[in-house]
Structure 1
Amino acid sequence: MVVTEHNLAALATTIKAWGRELGFADIRISDVDLAEQEAGFAAWLALGYHGEMDYMAAHGMKRARPAELVPGTIRAITVRMDYLPRAYKDEQGDERNWRAREQARLEPAAAGTATVSLYARGRDYHKVLRSRMQQLADRIKGEIGDFGYRVFTDSAPVMEVALAQKAGLGWRGKHTLLLNREAGSFFFLGEILTDLPLPVDESISSHCGQCSACIDVCPTKAIVGPYRLDARRCISYLTIELKGSIPVELRPLIGNRVYGCDDCQLFCPWNKFAQPSTLGDFDVRNGLDRASLVELFSWSEEQFNSRMEGSPIRRIGYQRWLRNMAVGLGNAAAAGAGTPEIIAALQQRSDDPSELVREHVAWALQQHGA
């Protein structure tokens, strides 16, 4: 196929149709000029808000310069994939009840239950998106022959939200995540950086207005201002990215959130429009939508590795898994859930081989006065 301006427009339309066939909720195209993002990113790094995520600084401004990451890049084909479990289709009723159920998991009455971020209850999204984006790239290649491209999903120094916003997939919310009028923010993003001069889509305006729900509800006040996140205080960072000890002053604020945190999304008004996934990949595994802290804390390392096979949770490793559970179990005391079962579970790990685990278990027992 000889690429011309006319058939590039047709190709863009076809790419979007193929994307929907592959399970993407939406797919848009943008240029890759992110120069306006550089000053804000540099200031964010200078403030140390990236914490121990050294990879955020390691590539310098390459993150805002896709053509330096993949030479020849002039376009980003950005995809969006919903990830709420399919079961919500039947359980939603008016399509809003799921939010009330998830919010209830954070109440003191549910202190003994582990709260895992919605995105991590099913299969690892990296594998799902990468596979389907590669299939999309293969279809394009089959149509036009060889072309320059690379596929990414949260796997390289790429400003995903900035590219998605530029492509018109939504706008950046005050919590720094992308928001979409028809789908809220419970979706994954992925990109195909390419040298194809495809026609670009228009960006859209922000619709957050004066709302500050995400800022107000953040348990650790990690959203230090509109569009500004101090990752060092974010529960997702503390329970996933942080490799060492969780700061003692932040532990009580984590509650029963043992892997990630959805609060800023759950209380965002736009997420009344969040859509269930059309794929079975994000169905809940291992009962992670209802498991107790004691149950998950009792897993052996072999059980953890086996049950978390194919899950994004496995990347934190067994020690950090136990660390997070210990914090949740310790916080159960303040919520009035200081049961003998919880104390016994903690005591059984008081001499764990890992110093990291022992420290957090000792803290948890102290909360229970044990």
Structure 2
Amino acid sequence: MADDLKSKLVAKALEEGFSACRITGPDAVPQIAARLQHYVDDGRHGQMSWMGERMGWRGDPAALWPEAKSVIMLAESYTPQHDPMAVIARPDRGAISVYAQNRDYHDIVKKRLKRVGRWLLEQQTEAGIKVFVDTAPVMEKPLGEAAGLGWQGKHTNLLGRELGSWFFLGAIFTTIELPRDGLAQGGCGSCTACLDACPTDAFPAPYQLDARRCISYLTIEHHGPVDLELREKMGNRIYGCDDCLAACPWNKFASEAREMRYAAREDLLAPKLSELAQLDDAAFRALFSGSPIKRVGRDRFVRNVLYAIGNSGDVRLREVAQGLCEDADGTVSEAARWAVSRL
């Protein structure tokens, strides 16, 4: 009975648009509590104070919802159809992480999860479910690895033989006892392509990340000015960074994205820094309506743009930066003055 339900569940998940569906349990990752504690104690989480909060839940999925018997882990591919690194060679343009070049994946994935969850409840009306996609203290990557979706690579992201590096994760916790899947086959071997690709040397060692040096963290999570040494290495990356993902050779086997709302918007493939720098709050909100970029706010985004302008070597952009030297936001005005001095 349970095997039959599981096979139908997987079929339903694929029908709804997910790229893969695997099952694990909330007790399958006992090692993560100590690892998370060590990470936070070392301060590698930077300003992400939420990582240290609710440590009991984050380090033990079983504590998050004690009634849960199974965790359904789902992957949704967003593999780009273009070369995500091409824009890096265009210093007058901004590089936006592939996942943020169109609609916010949180909304899309969560709606899919709810549809799969409702179907599951129709099969067993007495069951309970909870769905998560970056919305609770859930360690999705270790759970995804335990479910067999892939393995955490040397860049600490999850990757798989069929999925490559480009996929989102969602989780459905349920009170239904479902047959669990085994670990995935594959690994990184001696490859260090992702580590070698990092512009800021954010990996102290394979399988370890210091967020304080990661461009994704610096452009999205970090408040205030970025250290001078690091901002020079950010290049034209203004929201997130795909270098370590793009370098992974497993991507040659990656599943194609089926959801067109992940396909890059033309105006976000290689946007002009000169135009982005001049966004006020209203224009920023309008441009990034429905985008994950919206959550960082105009000030932090324009700060990133000014760092890219300072790194561009393009003297034509000096006037743009000059116009923001007296910006109302102190971090923006400091970034503008830095960019002017660089140009």
How far apart, CA to CA, are the structure 2 residues paired with 1:155 and 1:37?
19
Q: Distance in 2 between matches of 1:239 and 1:260?
A: 6
Unmatched segments (≥5 aa) in structure 1: 1-6, 89-97
Select the residue among 34, 45, 63 that pairs with 1:39. Answer: 34
Return 5+ residue gaps in structure 2 as ranges.
none
The residue that corresponds to 2:177 in the other structure is 197
Letter in 2 for 1:105: V
Q: What is the aligned counterpart of 2:331 among 333, 352, 356?
A: 356
Aligned runs of 1:62-101 on 2, under 5 Å?
62-85=57-80, 88=81, 98=82, 101=83
- Which residue matches 2:84? 102
Aligned to 2:94: 114
Q: Cα RMSD (Å) of the superposition?
A: 1.3
Deviation at 1:102, TM superposition (A): 2.6
Instruction: Give the 5 Å matches for 1:127-206.
Output: 127-206=107-186
1:172-226 Cα offsets, whole Å, 9 max, x none, are 1000001111121101001001111111111124420011111111111101111
Structure-1 separation of matches of 2:60 and 2:128: 17
2:79 and 2:237 mapped to 1: Cα distance?
Answer: 18
1:298 Cα deviation after fit = 2.2
Contact 1:66 1:73 in 2 (8 A): no
C-alpha distance in 1 between matches for 2:214 and 2:163 = 24
Whole-Å separation in 2 of the counterparts to 1:247 and 1:286: 32
Could you list the per-position Cα deviations for residues 233-292 of structure 1 after superposition, in whole angstroms to 9, with x for gaps in the alignment? 000000001122111211000000000000001111111223331112212236110211
- Residue in structure 2 matched with residue 94 of structure 1 by the alignment: none
Task: Work out the CA distance in 1 between the residues paired with 2:199 and 2:25.
Answer: 37
| Aligned 8 A contact 2:325 2:333 in 1 | yes
1:339 to 304, 310, 315: 315
CA contact (8 A) 2:21 2:75 kept: yes
2:342 aligned residue: 367
Q: Does 1:277 align with 2:257?
A: yes
Aligned to 1:4: none
Give every structure 1 segment of 4 or more consecutive aligned residues whose post-TM-superposition deviation is greater than 3 Å.
none
SS at match of 2:73: strand
| TM-score, scaled relative to structure 1 | 0.90
Deviations 1:1-53 (A, max 9, x none): xxxxxx22111111111101110000000012221222222211111110110
State TM-score, norm by structure 2. 0.97
Is 1:245 matched with 2:229? no
Letter of the structure 2 residue corresponding to residue 132 of structure 1:
R
* SS in structure 2 of the partner of residue 132 of structure 1: helix
Tell me whether 24-33 or 296-305 shows the greater mean CA deviation: 296-305
Q: 1:220 aligns with which of 200, 224, 230?
A: 200
Task: After TM superposition, list the pairs within 5 Å mapping 1:24-63 onto structure 2.
Answer: 24-33=18-27, 34-63=29-58
Structure 2 CA distance for aligned equivalents of residues 361 and 353 of structure 1: 12
Q: CA deviation at 1:163?
A: 0.6
User: Residue 156 of structure 2: SS of its match in structure 1?
Assistant: coil
- Which residue identity does 2:325 align to in structure 1? S
Q: Which moved more, 1:35-44 or 1:230-239?
A: 35-44
Rounded to whole Å, the distance in 1 between the matches of 2:273 and 2:327 is 17
Secondary structure at the aligned position of 1:223 is classed as coil
Q: Which residue of 2 aligns with 1:313?
A: 293
Q: Which amino acid aligns with 2:249?
A: P
Quick one: distance in 2 between partners of 1:313 and 1:103? Answer: 19
Contact 2:84–2:98 at 8 Å: present in 1 too?
no
TM-fit CA distance, 1:356: 1.2
1:109-157 per-position Cα deviation (integer Å, ceiling 9, x unaligned)? x111110000000110110010110011011111211422211012211
- Distance in 2 between the 1:247 and 1:273 partners? 37
* SS state at 1:73 partner: coil
Percent of aligned pairs with the same amino acid: 39
User: Which secondary structure state, in structure 1, belongs to the residue aligned with residue 75 of structure 2?
Assistant: strand
- Confirm whether residue 291 of structure 1 aligns to residue 271 of structure 2: yes
1:293-349 deviation per Cα after TM superposition (whole angstroms, max 9, x unaligned) = 11221222211101211100000001001100000000002xxxx232x11111111
Q: Distance in 1 between matches of 2:69 and 2:51?
A: 23
Cα distance in 1 for residues equivalent to 2:207 and 2:185: 15
